[in-house]
Amino acid sequence: MTSVTSYLIKNASLLGGEPTDLLLADGVVREVARSIHFESSGPVETIDATGLVALPGLVDLHTHLREPGREDAETVESGTRAAAMGGFTAVHAMANTEPVADTAGVVEQVWRLGREAGYCDVYPVGAVTVGLRGEQLAELGAMADSAAGVRVFSDDGRCVSDAVLMRRALEYVKAFDGVVAQHAQEPRLTEGAQMNEGELSGRLGLAGWPAVAEEAIIARDVLLAEHVGSRLHVCHVSTAGSVDIVRWAKAKGVDVTAEVCPHHLLLTDELAATYDPIYKVNPPLRSAADVEALRAGLADGTIDIVATDHAPHPLEDKDCEWAAAAFGMLGLETALSIVQETMVDPGLLDWAGVAERMSYAPARIGRVTDHGRPLEVGAPAHVVLYDPAVRRTVEPAESASLSRNTPYAGMELPGRVVATFLRGRATVLDGKLA
Ligand SMILES: NC(=O)N[C@@H](CC(=O)O)C(=O)O
């Protein structure tokens, strides 16, 4: 263990505001003031954070860590290293592992691996149905009662398309204040689908994935959630119509929350014209009009959070022809930069808004009480220091992930995570893993 027990952060711009000093000691935020003079008997490291934005540790509600089963793509350790490099202090690990995280045993294994790695707190997501097969409910109660304390349930990668099963899951999770996070994809409408359905998919000869395949499930599910009085979360919203449906449901008082992924805030379906499967993702990249609606929905709070859908894949699953390639792209290490580029720099969101959408709200939805707290005295010392003024070129080889499937390779993006603290311990320092 390192002997440094305390960090004195000088002149950080707290949530983008006035220069502030923060003292992190014994795992908590000990003091927050314009100027802190600290005399310590123990070791203290002073960090000059002039020009850096201080944010609460980011919380991802949607990460694929691939362990157990696909340790060639990612492990809990490598994925949480990537998370720390992206400013995250907590991630929710999706259930589509091998074996599927559909029992107390598997979720406890993932939770324990997260603790052992120590880069980031890992909250396992439990599968809704056994084996993600959509036939029978998994042991939701046993996963909730396990050491992992699961509160988020999802068959992500697959849609819970059976309306009766979805209704039962929504009813069941109420007992422990859980939430069903739906991967909204009508399976029959997307058989063989490869990219956003439109004029371009026709021209490229790639099977189309209509917006209605997402929107029909969201519309059905908000009605089901209202009917049974339960909490619904919608994963990776990608279309303008989905934003409209969530807005309508919220206005009606339905207890629904929604997420958008960084790549859907920046990239469009035009990239499919390259036939490079690096741009193949589920749900697919959509039109520029959809991107605009997603940004507006995130700005006005219709979409509650940004979630990465970090989906690592080994080279052989991506470096092939489009139709044979796996869906998914890396996201943890670039999320904050993409949000700066698409939301903060254009003036759609300030840093307090980023803290809400990437820390407070995801923690609330996942019922995580130890993360997503304002940087006030007594709060757990989960902190990110971010430099919004620099620009960097994304180099896949530099990723902490075991995989390389970033769609931003060679792109210049704003900002850089300089430091991440988990319970007052540096996981990243000077932009490098500590
Ligand atoms: N989002 C993705 O494109 N991929 C996800 C699962 C999924 O298909 O949603 C994955 O696990 O790779």
CB atoms under 10 Å from CB of 355, counted, come to 23
- Residue linked to tokens 């490098």: 432
74 and 47, same domain (yes or no): no
- The residue out of 365, 392, 423 marking a domain boundary is 365
How many C-beta atoms surround the C-beta of residue 143 within 10 A?
28
Residue 372 is assigned to a structural domain of this protein:
no
- 227 and 258 housed in the same domain: yes
pLDDT class of 42 with cuts at 50, 70, 90: confident
Partners of 292 in beta bridges: none
Looking at residues 169-191, what average pLDDT do you find?
A: 98
Taking each helix axis from N to C end, the angle separating 163-173 and 211-228, rounded to the nearest 10 degrees, works out to 50
Task: Provide the strand spans (E) within 158-265.
Answer: 179-182, 195-196, 208-209, 232-234, 256-260
Distance between Cα 164 and ligand 1 center (Å): 24
pLDDT for the residue 176: 97
Q: Is 156 in the pocket of ligand 1 (CB under 6 A)?
A: yes
pLDDT given for residue 171 in this prediction: 98
Q: How far apart are CA 9 and CA 273, in angstroms?
A: 47
| In a domain? residue 405 | yes
Centre of ligand 1 to C-alpha 2, Å, is: 37
pLDDT at 198: 97
Question: What is the sign, positive or negative, of the torsion defined by CA atoms of 351, 119, 70, 369?
Answer: negative
Give the DSSP letter of residue 284. Answer: P
Question: Is residue 417 predicted with pLDDT exceeding 60?
Answer: yes
Query: Which of 65, 94, 156 is the pocket-test mutation for ligand 1 (most atoms within 8 Å of CB)?
Result: 156
Q: To which H or E segment does residue 418 belong?
A: strand 412-422
Same domain, yes or no: 167 and 71: yes
pLDDT recorded at residue 39: 79
Which residues on adjacent β-strands are paired with residue 91?
60, 122
Q: Which helix (H) or strand (E) holds 428?
A: strand 425-429
User: Which residue, by CA, sits nearest to atom 7 of ligand 1?
Assistant: 157
Among protein residues, the one whose CA lies closest to atom 10 of ligand 1: 311
196 marked ligand binding residue: no
**Residue 317 resides in a domain:** yes
Long-range contacts of 136-140 (CB under 8 A, 24+ apart): 136/165, 137/165, 137/168, 137/169, 137/172, 138/102, 138/103, 139/102, 139/103, 139/104, 140/169, 140/172, 140/173, 140/178
Is 260 touching ligand 1 by the criterion CB < 6 Å?
no
Q: What was the pLDDT predicted at 219? A: 99
State how many domains the chain has: 2
pLDDT above 70 (res 147):
yes
Q: Which of the listed residues 61, 62, 64 should we mutate to test ligand 1's pocket, taking the one with most ligand atoms within 8 A of CB?
A: 64
Residue 353 phi/psi, 5-degree rounding, is -65, -35
Q: Do 261 and 281 sit in the same domain of this protein? A: yes
Same domain, 247 and 321: yes
Query: What atom in ligand 1 is closest to the CA of residue 281?
Result: 3
pLDDT (average), residues 167-179 = 98
- Using a 10 angstrom Cβ sphere, with 0-12 exposed, 13-18 middle and 19 or more buried, the burial of residue 314 is middle
C-alpha to C-alpha distance for 343 and 296, rounded to whole angstroms: 9
Q: Do 78 and 143 fall within a single domain? A: yes
Residue 66 near ligand 1, beta carbon < 6 Å: no
Residue 236 CA: which ligand 1 atom is closest? 1
Helix locations, 37-139, DSSP H: 76-85, 104-117
Question: In the structure encoding, which two tokens stand for residue 60, read together?
Answer: 């991802």
- The per-residue pLDDT for 4 is 65
Query: Active site residue: 102, 121, 304, 309, which one?
Result: 309
Do 289 and 408 fall into the same domain? no
| Mean predicted confidence (pLDDT) in 370-391 | 98
**Cα separation of 318 and 39, whole Å?**
54
The sign of the dihedral angle between the CA atoms of 286, 291, 293, 298 is positive
Was 88 annotated as part of a binding site? Answer: no
Q: Do the domain assignments include residue 10?
A: yes
Largest CA distance in the chain: 70
Beta strands in 359-411 (DSSP E): 383-393
- At residue 187, the 3 state secondary structure works out as coil
Asked if the model's pLDDT at residue 218 lies above 90, the reply is: yes
The CATH number linked to 50 is: 2.30.40.10
Is the beta carbon of 328 within 6 A of some atom in ligand 1? Answer: yes
Give CA–CA dist 266/411, Å, rounded: 12
And the tokens for 184? 């909204």
| Distance, CA of 185 to chain centre | 19
Q: Are residues 199 and 226 in the same domain?
A: yes
User: In this structure, is residue 262 part of a structural domain?
Assistant: yes
Which of 309, 340, 365 is at the close of a domain?
365
CATH number at residue 120: 3.20.20.140
Asked if residue 38 and residue 105 are part of one domain, the reply reads no
Q: Residue 3: is its pLDDT beyond 60?
A: no
Tell me, what's the pLDDT at 5? 80
Question: Amino acid identity, residue 425?
Answer: R
Is residue 256 in some structural domain?
A: yes
Ligand 1 centre distance from Cα of residue 282 (Å): 6
Residue among 281, 401, 402 to mutate when testing ligand 1 (max atoms within 8 A of CB) = 281
Which residue among 312, 334, 365 closes a domain? 365
Question: Tens digits of per-residue pLDDT, 257-290?
Answer: 999 999 999 999 999 999 999 999 999 999 999 9
| pTM (predicted TM-score) | 0.98
Percent of the chain with pLDDT over 70: 99
- Judge whether 327 is annotated as a binding position: yes
pLDDT at residue 40 in the model = 76
CA of 327 to the centre of ligand 1 (A): 5
Query: For 110, left (φ over 0), alpha (ψ -120 to 50), or beta?
Result: alpha
CA of 329 from ligand 1 middle (Å) equals 8
Cα 295 to ligand 1 centroid, rounded to whole Å: 22
Nearest CA to ligand 1 atom 8: 157
Using alpha carbons, list the distances in angstroms from residue 49 to 175, 369, 417, 419: 45, 27, 12, 10
- What is the mean predicted confidence (pLDDT) over 9-20? 98
- State the residue range of the domain holding 13: 6-54+378-433
Are 424 and 278 part of one and the same domain? Answer: no
Is there a domain that residue 275 lies in?
yes
pLDDT exceeds cutoff 80 at 77: yes
Tell me: do 251 and 169 sit in the same domain: yes
Asked whether residue 113 carries a pLDDT value surpassing 60, the answer given is: yes
Tell me the average pLDDT of the chain. 97
What pLDDT score was predicted for residue 2?
Answer: 47
For the beta carbon of residue 323, count every other beta carbon within 10 angstroms: 13
Q: Count the Cβ atoms, other than its own, within 10 Å of residue 321.
A: 8
- Residue 72 among the catalytic residues: no
Amino acid in position 296: A
Q: Is residue 371 part of a domain?
A: no
Same domain membership, residue 88 and residue 27:
no
Cα angle value 26/32/36 (rounded, 5°): 90
Alpha helices (H) in 229-287, listed in sequence order: 240-251, 262-266
77 within 8 A of 113, measured Cβ to Cβ = yes
To the nearest 10 degrees (0 to 180), the angle between helices 76-85 and 104-117 is 50
pLDDT category at 1 given cuts 50, 70, 90 is very low
Is residue 402 within 8 Å of residue 72, measured between CB atoms?
A: yes
